[in-house]
A and B are shown apart, each in its own frame.
Chain A
Amino acid sequence: MSGEALSDVPPPRRRRRWPLLGLLGGAIVVFWLAMAFLGGLVAPHDAGRIVDMDVFTPMTAAFPLGTDYLGRDMLSRILHGTRYTVGVALAATLLASGSGLVLGMAAATRGGWTDLVLSRCLDTLSAMPSKMFALVVVAAFGSSVPVLVLAAGIIYTPGAYRIARSLAVGIAAMDYVRVARARGEGTAYILREEILPNMTGPVLADFGLRFVFIVLLLSGLSFLGLGVQPPNADWGSLVRENIGGLAEGAPAVLMPALAIASLTIGVNLLIDNLGGFRRRGGEGA
């Protein structure tokens, strides 16, 4: 009866089309990531130089995004600010998602007291309102890039932990994990080879979502004047310092807000379509 095994070989694998919106999101994200590294190089002017005698100029050929309240080139300021917004948020997200993942998987596989203590501690942390927590930290330690990264990272760890733990608990109950245990595999192998590869999709989606939250948190802090401090400026502080131009409809206040919107929308488009990318990636391998 071995004919059954030979005859029903599935048809040759087909390439899936790249989801269009996912590509768009990916392009936006790649663009801003590139600007985070190269922004200072491609910017037409120095970020702090006053290049125009007029303030809040509209879009012109010389200043494609207009000028700000001191007459500085808005395009250059946004490109320079990318490093802070994207860089700080990326570092904080890596911190939050990384520690959440490690702690969550540890809690799921160890169980018992480890799980109990970790879960309750992180529950306590997540009970504090995020803005409030960030404000207190900034008030206590002053505002600097490392403090912002640490604060945002700690604030968003409990959420990442919850996601990672619940995913790992579900996977740890699967038969293939039982088979590995019955074979005598160590915890490290089971975590790395059996559990982690099967949670990458949801964990990456969570990573993207968390990145967006952190961008918004940092922009909010900067808007309140507690984020990145002058003379440096991230997009949130750009919105704040040019708020006076709102009445005139100056691009100086709209453009940094648009930048924040485009980044968050781009990341969301990308992670919503990760499933499609992943399937194709898996086939290409």
Chain B
Amino acid sequence: MADALLQVEGLHVTARNAEGETVTIVRDVGFALARGEVLALIGESGSGKTTIALSLLGYARPGCRIAGGRIQLGETEILSLSAGELRDIRGRRVAYVAQSAAAAFNPSRRIMDQVVEAAMIHGTASRAEAESEAVELFRALALPEPFRIGARYPHQVSGGQLQRLMAAMALIARPDLVILDEPTTALDVTTQIEVLRAFKNVVRQRGTTAVYVSHDLAVVAQMADRIIVLRDGQMREEGPTPQILDAPAHPYTQSLLAAAAPRPRAPGSLPEAAPPVLRVEGLTAGYGPADAGGMPLIPVLRDVGFEIRRGAALGVIGESGCGKSTLARVVAGLLPMARGSMRLGEEALPPDIARRTPDQLRRVQLVFQSADTALNPSRTVAQILGRPATFFHGARGAERDRRVAHLLELVRLPKGLADRLPGELSGGQKQRVNLARALAAEPELILCDEVTSALDTVVGAAILDLMDELRRELGLATMFISHDLHTVRAVCDEVMVLYAGQRVELGAGSAMAEAPWHPYTDLLVASVPELRPGWLEQTAAPRTPEAPASRRSACAFFPRCPVAIPGICDRDPPPLRALAKGSEILCHREEAELLQMLPSRKEALV
């Protein structure tokens, strides 16, 4: 490409590992980028995508070194610049948008001061010009109150807004090249769609040249013209977005695509008459001191009820802050509920751990999201797995070793791992040990809190497969908490949707593919990015308030609901409504109204 804005050739980056040896983490990477083009770097963690993106700024993380290659931006050879010259380039000609906007903003300075900073430092505009440019950018990024948002502090805006403000910060000096490093990974799907739309808009309007780093193929499909697939620091495949998605040539790309669209596991022949393992009614829980009526100061869950049958999986889904992790903690007894009742099999389950019998403790096991914090770093795998075997089953000596070996086999780990410390295992292996520890108790119910969200797609899919097999083999009941609709639908027989601590929808997993839904479920379904270019443009903009409602309305979803009935939805609590597809929702709208008013998105999930 003769008219390329950016040309990278033979890029090598090396790093020093824990043993002090030099290892190559990016090997012989080369590509070119024309002006106005958006290129995606895609790969799993450790594939070198962020390292490559940072090297475009002439930057290598501590311990890393750009060992060879050429990076030509216009007429400038980036890698031959001095520190001072690099400082001049950064922010003016190449700008960077990081994953966590919350960490990238200085909490004690106003947003406007930080957004115009790059223009001030490089002297590309006067303060007044930069501010009017910033307001233009705020408007293009669909930020509320573009004239006034700059006067706020970072903690006064939402996470999605902050992410867009960071894009404004990067674009203020009109750079030639913008690097977006996983800019929506930390956001909820409903927020992600707005941010993506804003990014896409601004990129198109200004003809920005961008490098978009992500692990999410569906997101990249919306943003990029071309995709480079990376693995272990090497380019595996490069091509235009439609080709990569429709006709991937490299086997690794094919496996990525397969993992990105999880096939629903066979729903299994679940006996309808299987007795419930756990039945929860009217559960209300929260934090802070309780008032006279027993309501906690900050209620997190209100009046939630469900049951899980033997061998069944219940999916719990909702955005961050909806109370889904709190639900797992309440069932596990770590946070005693304020009101309601729980039954484990035939007997009542006391809310507090201290009042539960050892047998009840054994029957309910909790698996935490992050295996990094859920495994004691100073104990070996054998000790971690052996303790519950001893604690619940009195296994000692050879019997204990036999149980540990059996557990490792159950989660498909080699026996040799028993003597390792958690720090010596990979992420997927740690999560398997985490799961095996829960299985060691031989429970009836396991509560899985976001067990795959910290893992790469392919590794996560393997864990899901494993859980599904175990459920069948051992007849385990599972509560599967996730923010990812795809994951939940793929592994669960039943799905419960939580919004602001209320159960807004409960129905069979298969019913989640059918309209109508509760308006919130509808929003969730519509927000999950699809693996086809153009999805973002075709999806109706969800209505989301830019500021949280000041007063709590009767239906928590009222301020964001596209079909809300003012005067009713904000005054009266919504009734429980049974739908023809077999689900129950909390809504004032009739089934027929929902069907008619919310566009059908049935194809969205197939």
Contacts and interface: CB of A to CB of B under 8 A. Distances in A.
A46 interface: no
Question: How large, as a class, is the contact surface on chain B?
Answer: 35 or more
Interface string A144-186: 0000000000000000000000000000001110110111110
A6 B425 CA distance: 11
A182 B426 contact: no
B462 A14 contact: no
A179 B412 contact: no
Interface residues of A, number: 27
Given A9-B414, A10-B425, A174-B373, A181 B353 contact: yes
Interface string B539-582: 00000000000000000000000000000000000000000000
Interface string B362-392: 0001101010011111110000000110011
A22 to B, nearest CB: 16
Contact of B437 (A4, A9, A179, A181): A179
B391 A185 contact: yes
A176 B154 CA distance: 33
B417 A9 contact: yes
Nearest to B357: A184
B379 A193 contact: yes
A8 B44 CA distance: 14
Given A184-B361, A198-B377, A4 B462 contact: yes
Contacts of A182: 332-334, 353, 361, 365-366
Nearest to B431: A5
B388 A183 contact: yes
A8 B428 contact: yes
Contact of A194 (B332, B358, B376): B376
Contacts of A5: 411-414, 428-429, 432, 462
B425 A175 contact: no
B426 A8 contact: yes
A200 to B, nearest CB: 8
A182 B368 CA distance: 12
Interface in A265-283: 282
Main secondary structure on chain A at its contact with chain B? helix
Given A5-B428, A8-B429, A176 B375 contact: yes
A124 interface: no
Nearest to A3: B462
Nearest to B356: A184
Given A4-B459, A194-B376, A197-B376, A175 B370 contact: yes
Contacts of B378: 197-198, 200, 282
A120 interface: no
Nearest to B354: A184
B424 interface: yes
A185 B428 CA distance: 27
Given A2-B412, A5-B429, A175-B370, A197 B353 contact: no
Nearest to B429: A5
A140 interface: no
Given A1-B465, A5-B413, A176-B375, A183 B19 contact: no
Most buried by B among A178, A183, A193, A197: A183
Given A181-B353, A182-B366, A184-B353, A13 B462 contact: no
A8 B427 CA distance: 10
A13 to B, nearest CB: 7
Contacts of A2: 412, 462, 466
Contact of A176 (B19, B374, B424, B429): B374
The 3 A-B pairs of least Cβ separation, nearest first, read: A1-B462, A2-B412, A197-B378
Interface of B: 19, 332-334, 353, 356, 358, 361, 365-366, 368, 370, 373-379, 387-388, 391-392, 411-414, 416-417, 420-421, 424-426, 428-429, 432, 437, 441, 458-459, 461-462, 465-466
